[in-house]
Amino acid sequence: MLPKWFTDWNRDKPVDIYGPAVLVGAVGGAVLVAALLISAGQPFKTKSMQTGPRGTGMVQPEFVSEVTATDPTIANYYSDEPFPVSADDPRASEVYENVQVLGDLTEDNFNRLMAAITQWVAPEQGCAYCHGNGGIETYASDDLYTKVVSRRMIEMTQNINEAWAGHVQANAEVGVNCYTCHRGQNVPSEIWFRQTPLGDTMEGWGAVQNRVTVQSQYTSLPSDALETYLLSDGPIGVHDFQSHVDARPWQEDTATWQDAERTYSLMNYVSNSLGVNCTFCHNTRAFYDGGQVTPQWATESVGIAMVREMNQEYLVPLQDVYPEIRLGPLHGDAPKAACKTCHKGYQQPMQGLNVIGDWPELATTGSPVYD
């Protein structure tokens, strides 16, 4: 039975059908939207993580749908438990020739790790990516650059997990292994090369900014921030309370507004790499005050020093090992790493998955300890 107002309306206004139609349609639409929200959830629902004192705006608002979404690369991650170890088991260095790293592993665990590295780095090419298409008797050869690079990368991974636990294991055992950067690709995404100057029409400061580049995160900010801070030892952080500083910009160690822009360029890169904003590490009303930063600031500071060492000690020295196709297009430099190479938009790479739990061989430069 229809409601009384509807019957009265039809009696008094028999030709005016739009009023009740609009009302019924609006009510019906509202009911439908409410039902969808109840059943499917609020797609724009957010959650906040407070990173600093209340009232300072130091929070990280995130869409719940994005927070709960799984990193798609995790599905292809390969892992396997170690084989039991006994003192009588033959070691890899005793079984195979030219084993310069991982030689103290048992033969079974050595082969197990080699199979995993193949899945992490070269799932399509298989063992031939580092060892060529010859028989197993040719595996000792270092003719392929990929094998030489892989050996050094294993050493780098061990060093990261052992010497830089303050970054890669800040909250729990997480660590890194080959998959952290490679994600099933021969060459990791988000590597970078030197690219300044940005043209031959300008010199000085104009040659490093106001061009849309990957390094500047597609902004007009300087494109040499990664070169300055993650390859060289440039000091990060510019802040001055005076509007006019009595200093000479050309003097060494004099902080200029160019340094401020370059620092901001790096911070913008870090924010995009981790999917966070400034208040994840800083109290933005007091960037200068180290006493008002968050715990994440220390973790990130350690990470910056770690990446700088990776580039200086491990990646750049491989320049002469790589073929020309793997070198930078402008300067012919070796590929280098930065925050996004591992994080790829997440606060923790692979959303904090423990990638060394099954791989103690990659967690230390010494002999691994198996549980």
Q: What is the pLDDT of residue 126?
A: 95
d(CA 44, CA 62) in angstroms, rounded, equals 10
In tens, the pLDDT along 183-194 reads 999 999 999 999
d(CA 292, CA 11) in angstroms, rounded, equals 72
Please give the domain boundaries of the chain with CATH numbers for all domains: 74-187+355-370 (1.10.468.10), 190-238+253-343 (1.10.468.10)
In tens, the pLDDT along 247-263 reads 777 777 777 888 889 99
Give the position of tokens 């591992």.
342
**Collapsing DSSP states into helix, strand and coil, what is residue 47?**
strand
Check: CB of residue 97 under 8 Å from CB of residue 140: yes
DSSP state of 161: H
244 in a known ligand binding site: no
178 in a known ligand binding site: yes
339 in a known ligand binding site: yes
- Residues with Cβ within 8 Å of 112's Cβ and at least 6 positions away in sequence, in order, are 80, 82, 83
278 in a known ligand binding site: yes
Phi, psi of 59 (to 5 degrees): -135, 160
- Tell me the angle at which helices 18-40 and 4-12 cross, rounded to the nearest 10 degrees: 150
Q: What type of residue sits at position 271? A: S
202 in a known ligand binding site: no
Chain-centre distance for alpha carbon 273:
5
Neighbours of 250 (CB within 10 A): 7
350 in a known ligand binding site: no
342 in a known ligand binding site: yes
Phi, psi of 83 (to 5 degrees): -80, 145
d(CA 190, CA 347) in angstroms, rounded, equals 16
pLDDT under 70: residue ranges of the chain: 1-2, 9, 14-21, 34-47, 62-68, 243-245
DSSP letters, 245-260, are ----TTSTT---HHHH
Q: What is the pLDDT of residue 103?
A: 94
Please tell me the pTM assigned to this model.
Answer: 0.83
131 in a known ligand binding site: yes
156 in a known ligand binding site: no
d(CA 8, CA 89) in angstroms, rounded, equals 94
In tens, the pLDDT along 111-169 reads 999 999 999 999 999 999 999 998 888 999 999 999 999 999 999 999 999 999 999 99
**Collapsing DSSP states into helix, strand and coil, what is residue 339?**
helix
331 in a known ligand binding site: no
